[in-house]
Amino acid sequence: MRVKVCNVNYIFLIVILALFTVLAACSSNEEKVATSSSGDLTPVTLQLKWVPQAQFAGYYVALEKGYYKEEGLDVTIAPGGPDIVPEQQVANGAAQIGVDWVASLLPHIEQGMPLIQIAQIYQESGLLLISKKDSGITSPKDLAGKNVGNWMGGNEFEALALFDKYGLDPNSDLSFVKQAFTMDQFIAGDLDAASAMTYNEYHVVLESGVPASDLNVIDMNDEGVAMLEDNLFANKEWLEENKETAAKFLRASIKGWKAAIEDPEGAVDIIMAESEEGSSTREHQLTMMEEVAKLVLPEDFNVEELGKTDPKMFQQTADIAHQFGVIKEEANLDEAFTNEIFEMATE
């Protein structure tokens, strides 16, 4: 009987050890599956044109809320700055997708960089010319004989188109000067009219103590000389092999923009966590978010077309760019942008 008991105990021990081995193997396999699942995320780098701010809220919201991961993407958002050219970063493979203004993208395409626009996020221009009422500028024709400022460096072409529309020569009929990135010149009275983005510099002036009632505003959209601004463009060579990845990125980004517009307070929470401490205030970023929303989803705009490139507006942008020498040849729209990725992302 003792031998039989020993055999039973021995067999029982073997069974227990085998069970532990199986459980350990299962646990190991589960860890491998989890690791594999995380490792299956496709890396994508987005290159911004400037530092983190509400101008780019949709992308940060999509990242924070996990919309990119839901699409199987591991997205890195690379901040921009004065020394960073998004087109160069995307062309050389440091990033796969970039954000810039269309007027900045077009000359890089003409120079032979393998780039193509895949989405248009801002549907209207945010550029204004603002003046104090005591300057007497109530319409563009009143700019004659005045000091008019712009940051230049590719930001001046809408203003030039405006001058041309009203028969004003910027070299003889007015003084068209380089404007600093602050609004100090305008506030001090050194500029009669200054360039201002609806979501940034215009509110810097208001925050300085100048009431809106003391300002006159010339809106490029109202004047018919608007150019498309923040877009999404991709490395054409990368895109050929990664259209589905690009569509997933755009789908998540659109979702992020919708969420940011629906909850501006929450979007600003995310932006403030990403921005350099002391670089901006929450109040300014909230105002920026509210103004940016008007450009992404203008009044009466079909929300289902958020991200779609309007061929007519792209043509207008390209025509102005050609008129003022931004590009030497007329743009080939078939090569410059595509709505294929938008259609894939929204089907």
Judge whether 205 and 186 are in contact, CB under 8 Å. Answer: yes
Closest-CA residue to 252 (of 45, 59, 43): 59
What is the residue-level pLDDT of the chain in tens, covering all 347 positions? Answer: 333 444 444 444 443 444 444 344 444 333 333 333 346 999 999 999 999 999 999 999 999 999 999 999 999 999 999 899 999 999 999 999 999 999 999 999 999 999 999 999 999 999 999 999 999 999 999 999 999 999 998 889 999 999 999 999 999 999 999 999 899 999 999 999 999 999 999 999 999 999 999 999 999 999 999 999 999 999 999 999 999 999 999 999 999 999 999 999 999 999 999 988 888 899 999 999 999 999 999 999 999 999 999 999 999 999 999 999 999 999 999 999 999 999 999 99
Ramachandran area for residue 78 (φ above 0: left; ψ -120 to 50: alpha; else beta): beta
Closest-CA residue to 233 (of 102, 65, 106, 97): 97
How does strand 193-197 pair with strand 231-235? unpaired
Helix (H, G, I), strand (E, B) or coil at 227: coil
What are 319's two structure tokens? 């025509």
What are 288's two structure tokens? 């920026």
What local confidence, expressed as pLDDT, does residue 1 receive?
38
Beta-bridge mates of residue 73: 42
What local confidence, expressed as pLDDT, does residue 154 receive?
82
This prediction has a pTM of 0.85
Beta-bridge mates of residue 42: 73
Question: CA separation (Å) from 113 to 91, 105, 153?
Answer: 6, 10, 19
Question: CA separation (Å) from 46 to 95, 98, 244?
Answer: 6, 5, 16
φ, ψ of residue 210 to 5 degrees: the values are: -85, 115
Judge whether 101 and 230 are in contact, CB under 8 Å. Answer: yes
Closest-CA residue to 208 (of 196, 226, 224, 223): 196
Give residue 185's identity as a one-letter amino acid code: Q
What local confidence, expressed as pLDDT, does residue 278 receive?
83
What local confidence, expressed as pLDDT, does residue 7 receive?
46
What local confidence, expressed as pLDDT, does residue 39 receive?
67
What local confidence, expressed as pLDDT, does residue 323 receive?
95
What local confidence, expressed as pLDDT, does residue 22 receive?
38
What are 9's two structure tokens? 């105990």
* DSSP conformation letters of 230-297: -EEEEEHHHHHH-HHHHHHHHHHHHHHHHHHHH-HHHHHHHHHHHSPTTSS-HHHHHHHHHHHHHHHS
Residue recorded with tokens 């003792």 = 2
Specify the DSSP element, H or E, that contains 193. Answer: strand 193-197
Judge whether 202 and 128 are in contact, CB under 8 Å. Answer: yes
